[in-house]
Amino acid sequence: MSIEELARENVRRLTPYQSARRLGGNGDVWLNANEFPTAVAFDLSQQTLNRYPECQPKAVIENYAQYAGVKPEQVLVSRGADEGIELLIRAFCEPGKDAVLYCQPTYGMYSVSAETFGVACRNVLALDDWQLDLPTIADNLDGVKVIFVCSPNNPTGQLINPQDIRTLLEMTRGKALVVADEAYIEFCPQATLAGWLEEYPNLVVLRTLSKAFALAGLRCGFTLANKEVIDLLMKVIAPYPLSTPVADIAAQALAPQGINAMRERVAQILVERQYLVSALKTLPCVEQVFESETNYILVRFTASSAIFKSLWDQGIILRDQNKQPSLSGCLRITVGTREESQHVIDALKAEKV
């Protein structure tokens, strides 16, 4: 048998997640991964690298609980929110039997993680306005254990109607988890569902330090849920999911000063987003600029593939969403610095319609 043939069938068939980093590109304007455009400096305060780290570092858990307005027992910290997605699937879905459900267009890791573990994927397409198609979801819940709802949704940028999420939570009570992926919630903090945890034992909220906290390189994310869910995830998590330097920096980023700095960054991004939206709307190559509650903007272009390629060749790297259902002609642009926005606008102005 070849090495290829030794691998699991579902792994051989798997298309890996096309992360912004894997797609490469040679640029100086990186607007394809929804990162914060500039780096925040930290000093390490822990020098005990001879010791194994805490599995769930107390300072990180307590700071995050305080920030999110939940109890420490309702917080799990992991190697990015992406690991949270994996842990939920591993703890709740029986391979070859159970399924996860999500509504495209949405974040790509839900399907990649499920496929990796041999768990079936059910994709109930979003409605024309990218809201949940509740009747079709209701008809497709057989065997579904985990439902992923990204709000605000990546890559469309809009919030999912909270009343619909309530209906979904009621519909699935005692049957499935509803996972609200709030990776971008810092850009619209009033919309969080964390306050609903008391009401819904089947609600899970995913968070990350990768976006508004400007720490994508740290790899640190959070799962908020009731204790029963957290205890199950704790059974399948690695013994030392976070390295000591990661825990050290995360605790600093989540201290009051770090939270204030994050809020200032968010305010700055919202100003830049307004600037970029207004400028995009004046361009002839732009067909539609969609409302965004996040640090990225989804834009429909008259000739998106040519524009994507042309900007790529000029070192301006955007994210092509053209292949996602209902997103033909769409590119996603991360809100960067004013200078970066200006580069994008100037390049788009030079495009032929």
Ligand X SMILES: *Cc1c(COP(=O)(O)O)cnc(C)c1O
Q: 209 vs 279, which CB is nearer to ligand X?
A: 209
Question: Exposure of 171 by Cβ count < 10 A (0-12 exposed, 13-18 middle, 19+ buried)?
Answer: middle
Residue 316 CA: distances (Å) to CA of 26, 58, 73, 286, 348: 8, 41, 43, 17, 11
In the complex, the smallest distance separating the C-beta of residue 190 from ligand X, rounded to whole angstroms, is 19
Q: 53 vs 157, which CB is nearer to ligand X?
A: 157
CA 211, distance to chain mean position in Å, is 9
In the complex, the smallest distance separating the C-beta of residue 155 from ligand X, rounded to whole angstroms, is 8
And the tokens for 252? 């600093």
Q: 32 vs 34, which CB is nearer to ligand X?
A: 34
Q: Which residue is nearest to ligand X (CB)?
A: 80
Q: 60 vs 150, which CB is nearer to ligand X?
A: 150
In the complex, the smallest distance separating the C-beta of residue 81 from ligand X, rounded to whole angstroms, is 4
- How many angstroms separate the CA atoms of 182 and 49, rounded? 32
In the complex, the smallest distance separating the C-beta of residue 64 from ligand X, rounded to whole angstroms, is 13
Q: 36 vs 348, which CB is nearer to ligand X?
A: 36
- How many angstroms separate the CA atoms of 283 and 44, rounded? 46
Q: 215 vs 307, which CB is nearer to ligand X?
A: 215
In the complex, the smallest distance separating the C-beta of residue 208 from ligand X, rounded to whole angstroms, is 3
In the complex, the smallest distance separating the C-beta of residue 22 from ligand X, rounded to whole angstroms, is 14
- How many angstroms separate the CA atoms of 187 and 212, rounded? 7
Q: 273 vs 343, which CB is nearer to ligand X?
A: 273
Residues near 163 by beta carbon (within 8 Å), at least 6 away in sequence: none
- How many angstroms separate the CA atoms of 65 and 245, rounded? 20
Contact 185, 208 (CB under 8 A): no
In the complex, the smallest distance separating the C-beta of residue 2 from ligand X, rounded to whole angstroms, is 33
In the complex, the smallest distance separating the C-beta of residue 214 from ligand X, rounded to whole angstroms, is 12
Strand ranges, E, within 84-220: 99-102, 120-123, 144-150, 177-181, 203-208
Residues in the chain: 353
Query: Which residues here bind ligand X, judged by CB under 6 A?
Result: 34, 80-82, 107, 150, 154, 181, 183, 208, 210, 216, 221
Question: Exposure of 129 by Cβ count < 10 A (0-12 exposed, 13-18 middle, 19+ buried)?
Answer: exposed
- How many angstroms separate the CA atoms of 285 and 299, rounded? 10
In the complex, the smallest distance separating the C-beta of residue 92 from ligand X, rounded to whole angstroms, is 18
Q: 74 vs 210, which CB is nearer to ligand X?
A: 210
Residues near 148 by beta carbon (within 8 Å), at least 6 away in sequence: 85, 100, 101, 102, 106, 107, 110, 179, 181
Q: 35 vs 340, which CB is nearer to ligand X?
A: 35
Contact 318, 331 (CB under 8 A): yes
